[in-house]
Amino acid sequence: MIEYYDVSGCYILRPWSYAMWESIKDFFDAEIKKLGVKNAYFPLFVSEKALIKEKDHVEGFAPEVAWVTRSGNSELEEPIAVRPTSETVMYPIFSKWIRSHRDLPLKLNQWCNVVRWEFKDPTPFIRSREFLWQEGHTAFATKPEADEEVLAILELYRRVYEEVLAVPVIKGIKSELEKFAGGLYTTTVEAFIRNTGRGIQGATSHCLGQNFAKMFEIYFLNDNRERKMVWQNSWGLTTRTIGVMVMVHGDDKGLVLPPRVAPVQVVIIHIPSKDIETNVLIESCKEIAKELRDAGVRVEEDYRDNYKPGWKFSNWEMKGVPLRIEIGPKDVASKQVKVVRRDDGGKDFISVENIGDSIKNLLDVVQKSMLEKATRERDSCIVQARSWDEFMAALNNKKLVMAPWCDEKEVEEQVKERTKADLSGAAKTLCMPFEQPELPEGTVCFSSGKPAKKWALWGRSY
């Protein structure tokens, strides 16, 4: 998946994980193009002047910005920042490009690298100093249009997780404390990691309101020739997706990959025997491989003779390949193959007749069943708490906690303060889920005792 590197916090995405990123990219890129979003490319570097224009935004990012101060042996006249995100790169240009209501909506996206020199412990995929992502930046004439797009993109993020990665997520809105620096509101998809009992932010879709438009002077003339400010969104999905998928599905034997994102969906391994010439056996395997490839299945054939079948089984299990096909002399004779599922260890014999269709169906079954299993496990780890004691008990039991909340910034800060003594770090709101349990009149906040306004999902997080 990854390789370590001599610049701390940077990792190498090996072909195995990069191919997963390509699958995610292909899916999402096709979907946003349907929404009329166009890809472009803006520079890696930001001038200090542009970077510091939006006050809240720069406060959020400044401590993590990497600065280029030298080229060759010459000091630059002005230091130049490496983009931590591209609002301040793009919006000065938006103000040039947008003149009239006919220039709206403007919907741009880019696939690129960004750098955040974080001092928290770096973790491959989850928190690295350089990562790959897409960042969408759009501008609209009206707030309702912006609001609608925020949700349309969030739905695509849900589909990336649930349909492509088989990872269940909860959609919701971020608290004031957790929202994007400089934005109006942030929506999110939140996933859950069973082993650590922690929530993890999957991807965020922000309505920026008019804060950036004001700072970067992005105005347009409406139908009546009146000068108006645009409404903006930004939204991003990173290589963290891969890390979440790995943590949600992995087991003691290694990776477990959902078929849609697996670089190899089926590995074919021959089982040599004195009952059959190895050449003849491999020929049979190759025919099956060809049929599967023709059906659009991603197949790998492992005929290495310096490893025993058992070693190969473990090796491909570790890599997470969804299906293993074993073919020995008996299978050749009876025109069938043995198929072993990586996700639940299920074994079956499948006829070579129409094997393309059979395997494709089975891959669909595996994909669906992995999402169902992960959803059951996640659901069993969400607990409702109405008091501080219930809250702490659930938290320390590695659960996510749904709790009625007064929705006050100070109260979230207090909860963080009261929980952070613990080694596993502070609890915070992951989101206020769109899907809300009933909140009977008179319900009070689990922490402040004030009237509760909403249910919030709390947890320790990454």
Residues that bind a second copy (CB under 8 A): 3, 5-7, 10-15, 18-19, 21-22, 38-47, 49-50, 62-73, 79-80, 82, 92-93, 96-97, 102, 108, 112-113, 115, 117, 130, 132, 304, 306
Q: For residues 37 and 244, which CB has a smaller minimum distance to a second copy in the complex?
A: 37
Give me the residues paired with residue 2 across strands: 13
Of the candidates 158, 164, 244, 242, the one whose C-alpha atom is nearest the C-alpha of residue 196 is: 244
Q: At what angle do helices 15-34 and 240-249 cross, to 10 degrees?
A: 110
Closest separation in Å from C-beta 112 to a second copy? 7
CA 325, 327, 333, 338 dihedral sign is: negative
Q: For residues 114 and 452, which CB has a smaller minimum distance to a second copy in the complex?
A: 114
Question: Residues 5-9: contacts with CB within 8 Å, 24+ apart?
Answer: 7/129, 8/122, 8/129, 9/117, 9/118, 9/122, 9/128, 9/129, 9/130
Q: For residues 8 and 273, which CB has a smaller minimum distance to a second copy in the complex?
A: 8
Residue 162, judged by CB atoms within 10 A of its CB (0-12, 13-18, 19+), counts as: middle
Q: Residue 154: which residues within 8 A CB-CB, separation 6 or more?
A: 171, 187, 188, 189, 205, 235
How far is it, in rounded angstroms, from Cα 52 to Cα 88? 8
Closest separation in Å from C-beta 416 to a second copy? 22
Closest separation in Å from C-beta 402 to a second copy? 36
Closest separation in Å from C-beta 219 to a second copy? 18
How far is it, in rounded angstroms, from Cα 183 to Cα 53? 14
Alpha helices by DSSP H, 122-258: 143-159, 211-215, 240-249
Closest separation in Å from C-beta 140 to a second copy? 17
Closest separation in Å from C-beta 162 to a second copy? 25
Q: For residues 239 and 447, which CB has a smaller minimum distance to a second copy in the complex?
A: 239
Q: For residues 47 and 369, which CB has a smaller minimum distance to a second copy in the complex?
A: 47
